[in-house]
Amino acid sequence: MNPFNPSKLASALPPMVVGRSAEVARVSEILRSDGDFLLTGVPGVGRRTLVRAAAQQVGARVVEIDCLRATDYARFLQLLSDAILSVFSRPMELSLIQSWIEPHALELDTSSTGRAKLLMQFVPGGEAMRHWEIFQVLLALPQRLAESMDCRVVLMFQNFPHLRSWDRSSKWEHYLRQEIQLQTRVSYAIIATVAEKWEEQAEMESMFLSPVADTDLRSWLVTSMRQVELSLDQDAIQLILDTVQGHFGDAIVLSRRIWLEHRGGVSSQVRSHQVYRSSVSLIEDLSVTFESLILLLPSTQVRLLESLALDPTLRPHAKEYMQKHQLSRGGTLQGALLSLEHKGLIYGADRGYAIALPMLGLWLRYRLG
């Protein structure tokens, strides 16, 4: 058996842009013209990978902030500062940042881990005012750095609507929208599941990223498996396509699992029963993650998820469907549908109500027998 080589696997099956040439070209055009955009779609279809690819084409640096990790003002500021400092980390860049933040009683610390970290000083009772001041300083940094470095910067906010869980007056969101209009070298990429309020901003183009087409995914599968010295028969390819449903993140994860379980075997050809076995072992490994997710959801949403996993429908409000799956009527059902769609767990009415994360759907069906 050939020895396990993680670097070979990582290089052969990396996150990449597949079947998105038109979208990459469009986002690149937006960035070159100092535009901003909203990119929607369910998690795992390649939204961030698409932004990174377009930014690379125009020579822009990407500062990424996952707003889901921000539980309050202080945590958001730390995430924002860490993201900026991870991208602008060269000594000259850090020196410029230090000179700009010193008048605001801020400083950088590199003594503890070797990586720069922003130190924030607070006066008891003045935390709210201090948070706001630091927010303004940090949002101005990318523009100043881009001007000094003669480059472009993309601020990519993932799960942006989560900020509203603590920015209840929308003060910070409104200031962010204002900065979008003023800054000339910084483009804002808002990554979300559904468009929500951002559609109202005429200056920001909205793009929906759909699942990858089977023809593009098929080509990627064949090429990638060939690079790791495996081949797939036609039934195996079709089973993978049916399993991942155009969800490129799941396609990468499942392909890596297949490689791990079948590398160096007697035959280099992978058949459909082997794909099925790899799929089952993968969802068994993911079961702890999915169980944790289920525990965080209200019982009405769990019941709805299970129903859609077993029985996708265009009409979840139909009396027969609700009776069949013992679903609550009226506003409770509609609220559950909207909440699950906003979480990126199901598709809404425009795509037919179904589980949006294929591995989650497979796990639910497996769990329900």
pLDDT of the residue at 245? 92
What are the backbone dihedrals phi and psi of residue 348, each rounded to the nearest 5 degrees, phi first? -90, -160
Closest CA to 156 of 202, 191, 183: 191
Write the single-letter amino acid at 226: R
pLDDT of the residue at 365? 94
pLDDT at 207 exceeding the cut of 60 = yes
Closest CA to 176 of 299, 44, 293, 38: 38
Q: Residue with structure tokens 């591995």?
A: 359
pLDDT at 63 exceeding the cut of 60 = yes
State the Cα–Cα distance between residues 83 and 95, nearest whole angstrom.
17
pLDDT at 203 exceeding the cut of 60 = yes
- Distance, first Cα to last Cα, the chain: 35
pLDDT digits (tens, 9 = 90+) for 251-288: 999 999 998 888 766 678 899 999 999 999 999 999 99
pLDDT at 4 exceeding the cut of 50 = no
Q: Compute the average pLDDT of residues 81-107.
A: 93
pLDDT at 114 exceeding the cut of 80 = no
Burial of residue 37, with CB atoms counted within 10 A of its CB: 0-12 exposed, 13-18 middle, 19 or more buried = buried
pLDDT digits (tens, 9 = 90+) for 316-331: 999 999 999 988 776 7
pLDDT at 12 exceeding the cut of 70 = no
Q: Residue with structure tokens 């497996």?
A: 366
Q: Compute the average pLDDT of residues 123-138.
A: 86
In order of 23, 135, 198, 220, the CA distances from 178 in angstroms are 26, 13, 13, 41
Domain ranges of the chain: 20-208, 214-367
Mean pLDDT of the chain: 87
Q: Residue 9: pLDDT band by 50, 70, 90 thresholds?
A: very low
Q: Residue 37 corresponds to which tokens in the numbers above?
A: 């955009």
State the Cα–Cα distance between residues 302 and 12, nearest whole angstrom.
37
In order of 13, 59, 207, 213, the CA distances from 54 in angstroms are 20, 9, 14, 20
For residues 204 and 351, the answer to whether their CB atoms sit within 8 Å is no
Kindly indicate whether the domain formed by 20-208 is annotated with CATH number 3.40.50.1820: no
For residues 63 and 155, the answer to whether their CB atoms sit within 8 Å is yes
Q: Residue 177: pLDDT band by 50, 70, 90 thresholds?
A: confident
Indicate the range of 16-25, 74-83, 269-278 predicted with least confidence: 16-25
pLDDT of the residue at 325? 92
Q: Compute the average pLDDT of residues 63-77.
A: 92
Indicate the range of 9-18, 56-65, 98-107, 225-234 predicted with least confidence: 9-18
pLDDT at 23 exceeding the cut of 50 = yes
pLDDT of the residue at 181? 80
pLDDT of the residue at 1? 37
Q: Residue 50 corresponds to which tokens in the numbers above?
A: 């698409």
pLDDT at 8 exceeding the cut of 70 = no
